[in-house]
Amino acid sequence: MIKITVSASKKYDVIMEQNALNKAAELLSQAEIKSDRKLCIITDKTVNSFYGKESGILWQNLSQAGFRLYKYVFEGGESNKTMSTVTAILDYLADNKFSRSDALIALGGGIVGDVTGFSAASFLRGIDYIQIPTTLLATVDSSVGGKTGVNLKAGKNLAGAFWQPSLVIFDPQVLQSLPQHMILDGIAETIKAGFINDKTIIDEAENNISIGDNRFLTQLAAKAVEVKRKVVEEDERDNGSRQLLNFGHTLAHAIEKCSNYRISHGHAVAKGMAIVSAAADEMAWTSVPCAGKILEILKKFNFPLDCPYSPSQLTEAALQDKKIRGNKITLVIPESIGKCRLKTIATDDLEEFITCGMDALKGM
Ligand SMILES: NC(=O)c1ccc[n+]([C@@H]2O[C@H](COP(=O)([O-])OP(=O)(O)OC[C@H]3O[C@@H](n4cnc5c(N)ncnc54)[C@H](O)[C@@H]3O)[C@@H](O)[C@H]2O)c1
């Protein structure tokens, strides 16, 4: 068992253990979530069919321990990560007389986690929730750190709250049903964590590529969570160093938007890290050249690194990002392998920066 304790505005454990779903009740009890409480499992239709059923391991384990279980299942996908899904969940909790001492369980990927977390933050001005991530991306990124929220018509994640979970439980067994391209989405975020703050992730991923091996994935995921823990503890509300977690993300969000979300987030992050690191090397903003290593590792995992959009298309999409303040944009730049820093540039210079990176990549 791997246990990582996050000490943010709330202190909680991230437990990573094979077959952890079989002992969920015991883990909840250790986190002071007692079995006299009502629990509402919130999940999407796909995850429900794998892990949410009343006959399944998780439900059986919790109900046998005495928890009074409820379940709310919604249609997954970004188009349902909305206020109306949250409102429906809040109404369901109110109809079933949930109180402040009851709790929610987010069983699913990042969308379920974000929607459930925001529902927990809002219901009765805040109740406990437990994250049980079922994608690698949710495990290494969205289940830890307490960013919750939904999309608005104007863009992704524009409404939300910082609300930390009470416990995170990752059972690597759930990865068995996850399609390979979605494992790769999680690998991209894991590699990102390595380049930000932990070179050993890069070394291990390089020497030991085995995306079908749960032990290998769990070890890498634990290291990525450790990076996230440090950053979140330092800057929980994302006013400074937490922005480092956005390495590759300014461009990734632009690529996702230009593709009308056909290119997945993790694959877009891989392309974004490649362009930014190539540009940073060209501009001599890195203390040692980084792009070569970043490309080498991304190519080992067979990430397609071509970008079908022009620098002007990407710039236009990037400048619609909610994080832009005035006429400046903060980029995350690699400084050396395992270390990144923030660099603020004028929005007028962004297109030149992207052009520089895309041109440099053609020769690599
Ligand atoms: N809050 C944060 O800090 C944070 C960080 C990163 C990403 N996010 C958010 O996370 C979301 C993306 O998360 P995601 O990539 O996990 O996507 P997701 O939640 O949409 O899951 C992807 C798909 O996989 C299915 N699925 C989930 N687990 C499965 C399993 N074990 N087996 C088979 N199918 C499974 C889901 O039903 C869904 O169709 C985005 O909305 C993003 O904004 C949030």
pLDDT, tens digit, 9 for 90 and up, residues 294-334: 999 999 999 999 999 999 999 999 998 766 778 999 999 99
* 218 marked among binding-site residues: no
How do the residues of the chain divide into helix, strand and coil, expressed in percent and rounded to 5? 50, 20, 30
| Ligand 1 mutation pick, 21, 41, 42, 47, max ligand atoms within 8 A of CB | 47
Going 364 to 340 to 268 to 257, the CA torsion angle's sign is: negative
With a 6 A CB cut-off, is 134 part of the ligand 1 pocket? yes
Q: Supply the residue whose CA is at minimum distance from atom 11 of ligand 1.
A: 110
Q: Which residues pair with 74 in a beta bridge?
A: 44
Q: How many CA atoms lie within 13 A of 270 on its CB side?
A: 25
Question: Rounded to an integer, what is the distance from CA 113 to the centroid of its chain?
Answer: 9
With a 6 A CB cut-off, is 139 part of the ligand 1 pocket? no
With a 6 A CB cut-off, is 81 part of the ligand 1 pocket? yes
Torsion of CA 252, 279, 228, 157, to 10 degrees: -30
In this prediction, residue 267 carries a pLDDT of 97
Report the distance separating Cα 131 and Cα 144, nearest Å.
8
Q: Report the share of the chain in percent with pLDDT over 70.
A: 99
**Are the folds of 2-176 and 180-362 the same?**
no
- Tell me: pLDDT of 155 over 90: no
Least confident of 91-95, 108-112, 153-157, 191-195: 153-157
User: For ligand 1, what atom is nearest to the CA of residue 136?
Assistant: 16
Kindly list the domain boundaries of the chain, sorted by start residue. 2-176, 180-362
Q: Among 299, 300, 297, 295, which residue's Cα sits nearest to residue 281?
A: 295
Class of domain 180-362: mainly alpha
In this prediction, residue 102 carries a pLDDT of 97
User: For ligand 1, what atom is nearest to the CA of residue 149?
Assistant: 1
With a 6 A CB cut-off, is 82 part of the ligand 1 pocket? no
* 189 marked among binding-site residues: yes
- Tell me: pLDDT of 92 over 90: yes
Class of domain 2-176: alpha beta
Q: Could you read off the pLDDT of 334-352 as tens digits, one per residue?
A: 999 999 999 999 999 999 9
The CA 79 to ligand 1 mean position distance, Å, reads 13
The CA 235 to ligand 1 mean position distance, Å, reads 24
